[in-house]
Structure 1
Amino acid sequence: MCPPEHFTVDYVINPWMDTTVPVDAALAVKQWQLLHDTLTDLGHAVHVLDARPGLPDMVYAANGAFSVDGTVYGARFKHPQRSAEAAAHQLFYAGGPWTFADPVHVNEGEGDFAYLPGAYGGLILAGHGFRTEPAAHVEAQEVLGRPVISLKLVDPAFYHLDTALAALDDRHITYYPEAFSAMSQRVLRQLFPDAVIADRSDAEAFGLNLVSDGHHVILNTEATAMADKVRAAGYTPVHVELSELKRGGGSVKCAVAELRP
């Protein structure tokens, strides 16, 4: 995670950003800290990446890389406003037991990649259409040695995979079908017939931008209907208020890069 010490909305690179509405910087830090503490209280180790001036979106730490079994596929951001974030994430991984692969193709880390280690022997779901290039899916497969299923995103409101789909545990997902092309929906139905299906209101509440440890599903307080859906599926929802981070187009998952050593 990376604290929102420099978080603001000074530019627009997704439909959720509005430069005319000021960010409450103190509240953003308070809400981020609550998410951090919620994760540690649930027994998870949280590593903190230092925030850097001039990079207001660094708080969305999930976008900086994607790791599977000790190998890290780095990010290469589409928008120049975020490009310097990639080096900061690479430096973090250089200090640990990781094999780091510097990408050739544009991709935004866990923003557009999700991993299900128990599905089909280990499966990567990957989004494209707005941020990540389809060629990055091929590159990730070669780097990580896991099959990659390419999914086309078609609604600008859900510009990253992690706004439209989430892993609930090692084998199960939840997703909003209409965020994907018709053929991608068909693929998801075939691979995950027992998925938890979200609707547009769930997605607009950033209810799919969640983090799950297989038991607890951490999601923002606005996503009450989504909480009911995951509870009915056998998980325990845990709410965290992240209203300020939503101003930049992100929520729980965007703020958390999951490490898979």
Structure 2
Amino acid sequence: MSTQNTAPATEAARETTRTQHLRRYLMCRPEHFTVSYTINPWMVPANPTDTDAALRQWQVLHDTYLALGHEVELIDPVEGLPDMVYTANGGFLIDGIAYGPKFRFQERAGEAVPFIEWFRANGFDTREPVEVNEGEGDFLLVGDVILAGTGFRSTGDSHREIGDVFGREVVSLTLTDPRFYHLDTALAVLDPVQGVSNGGPERANIAYLPSAFDPRSQAILAERFPEAIHVSDEDGSVFGLNSSSDGYNVIISPRAKGFEKQLLERGYNPVLVDLSELLLGGGGIKCCTLELRGA
């Protein structure tokens, strides 16, 4: 079992003044949410789901973004596609370019067309993928670098493809724990853009669960992000890392108590939102949030 604080904050990290950056997000109301199939360890069709509860919890997340000053766009839910609520899997967008999804499992394949059509209708330069990828579930922008997950959903070939689409460095990371089948369940971007703090450059930073990655990936993360927060398995297993940060406010599960404390120690403002009903489908805060960059 991993433990917290394996990468303690330096005094400089503790003294850093965090800056909020306003975002534009795409969300989808879980009007058809249910668990009728199993494509990840969290999905158990025998366990009852409550669509009304999912809607109430989702609405709190939606309203929290608005209250923090962010912009939220909506894509219409499609009957028969209960996982559309997890919009992070619907694409990856930088500078007005939208790289569409190609889902691994047939149960979600029908989501690709609605997302791609939404991107086109809303002015994005939309690129249809050849390779299997599940959008921001496995691709996370940190500074100028794209961290790319593989092992369960997106394939290594999609890492090459996304690098070609955006002309950016792509760092491949291999997930090994089936509970954390997407990169955004095991790693959270806390400072997505470079800024200036205390008179000097501020490094983009992350939080992650080391045990979710293979040794090579752990070494890469340790080298690139020496100030990263190492989160415990206890907090990871309640999807504490499936969070959304604007550089200051970090929206997390209220059950991730250790992670909440770690964020406070680093100068972030944890905002607690419960999406326990949507966790029955294997998704959390970040899963329900796709960042729209540009256009």
- Deviation per CA, 1:129-181: give whole Å up to 9, x if none: 00000000000000011100000000101000000001001211000011000
SS of 2:270's partner is strand
Provide the C-alpha distance between the structure 1 equivalents of 2:122 and 2:82, rounded to a whole number of angstroms.
Answer: 25
User: What's the counterpart of residue 260 of structure 1?
Assistant: 293
Q: 5+ unaligned residues in a row in structure 2: which ranges?
A: 1-26, 194-203
Q: How much does 1:201 deviate?
A: 0.8
- Deviation per CA, 1:176-210: give whole Å up to 9, x if none: 01100000100000110110111111110100000
Provide the C-alpha distance between the structure 1 equivalents of 2:276 and 2:257, rounded to a whole number of angstroms.
Answer: 14
Matches within 5 A, 1:165-244: 165-169=187-191, 170=193, 171-244=204-277
User: What's the counterpart of residue 147 of structure 2?
Assistant: 125
Equivalent pair of 1:221/1:242 in contact (CA under 8 Å): no
Aligned: 1:156 with 2:178: yes
Q: 5+ unaligned residues in a row in structure 1: which ranges?
A: none
Matches within 5 A, 1:56-75: 56-75=82-101
Aligned length: 257
Matches within 5 A, 1:8-27: 8-27=34-53
Partner AA of 2:32 in structure 1: H
Please tell me the root mean square deviation across aligned C-alpha atoms, in Å. 0.7
Of residues 103, 124, 128 in structure 2, which corresponds to 1:98?
124
User: What's the counterpart of residue 77 of structure 1?
Assistant: 103
- Deviation per CA, 1:38-82: give whole Å up to 9, x if none: 000000000011100000000000000001111111100000000
Question: Which TM-score applies when normalising by structure 2?
Answer: 0.86
User: What's the counterpart of residue 37 of structure 1?
Assistant: 63
User: What's the counterpart of residue 198 of structure 2?
Assistant: none
Q: How much does 1:96 deviate?
A: 2.0
Partner AA of 1:131 in structure 2: R
- Deviation per CA, 1:89-128: give whole Å up to 9, x if none: 11111112311110000000000000012xxxx0000000
Aligned: 1:48 with 2:74: yes
Q: How much does 1:230 deviate?
A: 1.1
Q: How much does 1:241 deviate?
A: 1.1
| Greater RCO, CA 8 A, separation 6+ | 2
